[in-house]
Amino acid sequence: MNPANNSIAAVFEFLKAELIPVYGEREAQSMAYQVMHSAFNVSRLDLITKADQKLSESQIVTSFKHRDQLLRGEPLQYILGSTMFYDLEIKVAPGVLIPRPETEELVAWFLSEAQENEDVWDIGTGSGCIALAIKKDKPSANVLASDSQNEALQIAKDNGQGLKLDVEFILHDILTDLPPKKSFTRIISNPPYILQEESKSMPQNVLDHEPHAALFTTTNDPLQFYRKITEVANDLLVSGGKLYFECHEEHALKVYEMVVEMGMKEVELRTDMQGKQRMLRASKV
């Protein structure tokens, strides 16, 4: 199918109609809006007030390209090159996990408890979304952010520079490298927590496009990263310092029990907006 003509309204309707069979009406409409906005700078209001305005030939070609990418299951955020996270425009590319709304909820919990002049470590920073949202809200915080993947770290650094937020990004493997020689008042992490065997029940577009190092544990232990990070937190947090985790809803209770067993206090699990147990906070004695 082709757009009826090159007008803004026709291209929007074309994109939507092409995407509906794969994504359903609501999702297709939302994607079509986002493509129009990010790729062609056409707002929702423009769709009404400038409906007959023409797009250029190259913009029409771009709309075909994005249609094909979306029909192949490529995530919209990778196609457009960015996503919004905690009111920040975060650059994303296939080497980095696309920040998720539930992670914003973890950041909101963290920020509701954070004071001035915190020393923070974000472990497994990916795009840098958590660290950058913290720095934006708490400019007095010293924020360190680490990841074992070079590609992710480069994107995180670009995001820091682009947003003019002074976060220290370092290449660091939490499972094998020695931790930094410093103490922290808060440690936060959304680590890999999916078992390889769970990949069968995952959406194909996530499996095909998002980095497996961001998704999967390297052993058959869903607590692999949580155990290691809690051990490090026990060493590096100041007394009264806090540890924040995003969890897999099915393993959250196990993470809770393990953190308690490892000596942390005031351990609390919270549910996300969808009612799933997904966040944990604990205090070092």
Ligand X SMILES: C[S@@+](CC[C@H](N)C(=O)[O-])C[C@H]1O[C@@H](n2cnc3c(N)ncnc32)[C@H](O)[C@@H]1O
Rounded least distance, CB 91 to ligand X, Å:
13
Rounded least distance, CB 40 to ligand X, Å:
28
The smaller minimum CB distance to ligand X, of residues 28 and 152, is found at: 152
Those residues whose C-beta lies under 8 Å from the C-beta of residue 169, and which sit 6 or more positions away, are: 125, 128, 131, 145, 146, 147, 153, 156, 157, 160
The smaller minimum CB distance to ligand X, of residues 71 and 175, is found at: 175
The smaller minimum CB distance to ligand X, of residues 47 and 195, is found at: 195
The smaller minimum CB distance to ligand X, of residues 124 and 241, is found at: 124
Q: Which amino acid is at 56?
A: S
How far is residue 136's CA from residue 187's CA, in Å, rounded to a whole number?
A: 17
Element of type H or E holding 145: strand 142-147
Rounded least distance, CB 96 to ligand X, Å:
6
Residue 244 — φ and ψ, nearest 5°? -125, 130
How far is residue 273's CA from residue 133's CA, in Å, rounded to a whole number?
A: 19
Question: Any bridge partners for residue 252, and if so which?
Answer: none
Interface residues with ligand X (CB under 6 A)? 97, 99, 103, 124-127, 129-130, 146-149, 152, 173-175, 190-192, 213-214
Rounded least distance, CB 104 to ligand X, Å:
9
